[in-house]
Amino acid sequence: MPWDELRPPLIVVVGPTAVGKTELAIWLAERLGGEILSADSRLFYRGMDIGTAKPDRAELSRVSHHLIDVAAIDETWSLALFQKAAKFSIQDIHRRGKIPFLVGGTGQYIQAVVEEWEIPAQLPDLRLRDALEAWGRAISPAELHRRLAVVDAEAAARIEPNNLRRTVRALEVLFHTGQKFSAQRKKGQSPYRVLQIGLSRPRPVLYRRIDERIERMLADGLLAEVEGLLAQGYAADCSPFSAIGYREMLQVLRGEITLDEAVVLMKRATRQFVRRQYNWFKLEDPAIYWFDLDQVGVNVIEGVLRNWINS
């Protein structure tokens, strides 16, 4: 399919967790000759399958996927590392005459690629980082996040309160440079011709889908998945374990809460996460073409994409 080599196409699929991004993106990529590039930070890690709703083997076999299972749980994938890997994968997909679909719900990873963020090169201050992590563990990640909100409300609004690694990173940048983490991002000129589509559903429908997904995760063996990862030698304080579902299962295994209590906490935390996702992907954003999946059929969305590709 011919296109402008100076600005090759990039289709972006965004929306809140459990809205149906994976299913739709795979279907569209099959129909339109695309490959999928994951921009969900939870899907980077090998072994974290059930609690991340990672595409299963059958789904992965339908179209080529990139940046899934690229790191061990005790590795850290920074935003800069993701951006570099994403740009390499997009270039490779274009080289083979395919259309890249950047799909996910992690706002800063999407925007770092779409907006060509110029991420400042900064060597980590390991002593400061260790001190901040120790402080966060002592007062709790949520309390450290609350203190971040006092000095950088914009950064805090886009970080999950229990994500200690990202909270520490924001504070590290602030203390090291004297500038807010939220002010560190510089936008460049995107090298791509971008179409962003957003997927939504009425909030009650979305919440029902979230509840059903969480119940399914438990039935599929989420607790056993976490037990198995710990048995492989991964420490409970590895950053990916701060993700919703994993941290609650760790609490169950430590005897701090019951499984029923964990389910309640997971559902509550996921609703809060959805609200933070809408801080990144705003329904009024003119750069995003929103589709309510309860009102618009997939064939309509396919038609919009085909017209855009051929325009």
Where does CATH 1.10.20.140 sit in the chain? Answer: 126-183
Q: Output the CATH code of domain 126-183.
A: 1.10.20.140
Question: Boundaries of CATH 3.40.50.300 in the chain?
Answer: 9-119+186-310
Per-position pLDDT tens, the chain of length 311: 455 667 899 999 999 999 999 999 999 999 999 999 999 989 999 999 999 999 999 999 999 999 999 999 999 788 889 999 999 999 999 999 999 999 998 888 999 999 988 876 555 677 888 888 889 888 998 899 999 999 888 888 878 788 887 888 888 878 877 777 766 666 778 899 999 999 999 999 999 999 999 999 999 999 999 999 999 999 998 989 989 999 999 999 999 999 999 999 999 999 999 998 888 899 999 999 999 999 999 999 999 999 999 98
Instruction: Report whether 119 contacts 112 (CB < 8 A).
Output: yes
**CATH number listed for the domain at residues 9-119+186-310:** 3.40.50.300
Burial of 75 (0-12, 13-18, 19+ CB in 10 A): middle
* pLDDT for the residue numbered 121: 59
215: tokens are 């119940």
Q: What is the rounded distance in angstroms from the CA atom of residue 1 to the CA atom of residue 76?
A: 37
Model pLDDT, residue 2: 52
